[in-house]
Amino acid sequence: MTRTTACRLRFHLLLMCLLATLLLLIGCSSSSSKKAPAAPAAGDPPISRQAVLIESYSASEVLVRATGLGHSMSEARQDARKAALWFVLMGGNTPLLNDQTQRQAFARHEQHFYSRVMDYITHEGEILSRRTDGKQDRIERAFRINLDTLRNDLIARNIISSTSSLAAQVSNPQISVITADRSTHSIQAATVFSEYLQRRGFRVVVTDASERINQVVQQATALSGTLDPTYLLALQTGSDIYIAITAETASRTLAGNTLSQATVTATAYYTATGNQLGAATGYSTERVVSGSGAILGEAANDSADKLLNQLTASWQRESAQGRSYKVVASAEPGVGDISRPIHQLFSQVCSQARRNAAGSSSFDYILTCESRDVMDLLFKLEDHWRGPGRIFRVMDSGAFLVIRIGFTDSDDIIIE
């Protein structure tokens, strides 16, 4: 090998070494320049959407078990908090945001809520599970959420309407909570259920189906053949909505322990029409208890929580369409046939007039009107009456009005 060839080989070898070193340096630089995934911002929505309701403590608090995901345990814990908040807002059977309009409004403010998630959490339970899946950490934890604080914040930002603002459009409804039987369980459940509604701003009357029915109510409803005592009581108490409550408990023995669970069923109706508004069944957790009061209260709160959104949504629809009233009209002897003028009157004063039943001198109608209350409706009927005689009020109660058409004032009505 000549000296020139040897020098050339050494040069090529040196060049290859330099090239290998350069490639190694570039690889290390590229590897070190790869950043760890950025942590979610405080106002970002949760990565996880995994959560479940454990218990409704009261009208103002719920316990939610949520899963959190993140690239560290710290991120996973914060994500679990946000997932619990998301569940109360949009998940489950009774989310606070129950229509698309509300959810679109929330989207404009979501950073405010998620960045302040701890404002709505009153208690964090122990971590229920913790594990790492690949490069992602996962935890599961229980959180107690304060619904009142969250709801007030939603109202303040005009995302949902307050009870008072709805009442400005339609008179705040009075609700009768009626026990279907005289059992102690049903009475306890009805009491807790009514307390839940009162905390939400509704006027509530608690009664039971064994109470005596007013004679006028019995006479006025005889025309339509309605004999259900629960419905008659609702008319009598002046409620706009009535809710029938039934409750029961069940027990079983497991590993020497007696476990008990309560079930409360609530069915809501419009008093004027008798149409079902909504229904819900609430459950307590199955556990060892010394008495039934705690589990009945838990089941009643769960039932009320589920039913309230149905009730509120229906009430909002009514605010746009007008209120419904049940009106029974009776003509005294000698007035003559008033079937035409009474129908024309109702159609003139109200947007909808549906005749349920009629006799020779008595009429049962469901009216949908803009009138804010039954007295407002009565005054309009009196002012617009063009038939024989005058309109006299026999009885009014909430969404129920009984009138008599004649020449003299009397409390007597004739249903035939």
- pTM more than 0.95: no
According to the model, what pLDDT value does residue 13 have?
61
Angle at 79 (CA atoms; ends 74, 84), nearest 5 degrees? 130
pLDDT mean over 93-114:
90
Q: Give pLDDT tens digits for 179-215.
A: 988 888 999 999 999 998 888 778 898 887 667 777 7
Q: How far apart are CA 168 and CA 172, in angstroms?
A: 8
296 or 202, greater pLDDT: 296
As given in the structure block, the two tokens for residue 169 are 């459009």
Asked whether the beta carbons of 330 and 415 are under 8 A apart, the reply is: yes
Please state whether beta strands 174-179 and 203-208 pair in parallel, antiparallel, or not at all (unpaired). parallel
Tell me: pLDDT of 30 over 60: no
Tell me: pLDDT of 114 over 90: yes
As given in the structure block, the two tokens for residue 261 are 């669970």
Tell me: pLDDT of 166 over 60: no
Residue with tokens 């710290």: 74
Phi first, then psi: what are they for 207, rounded to 5°? -150, 180
197 or 134, greater pLDDT: 197
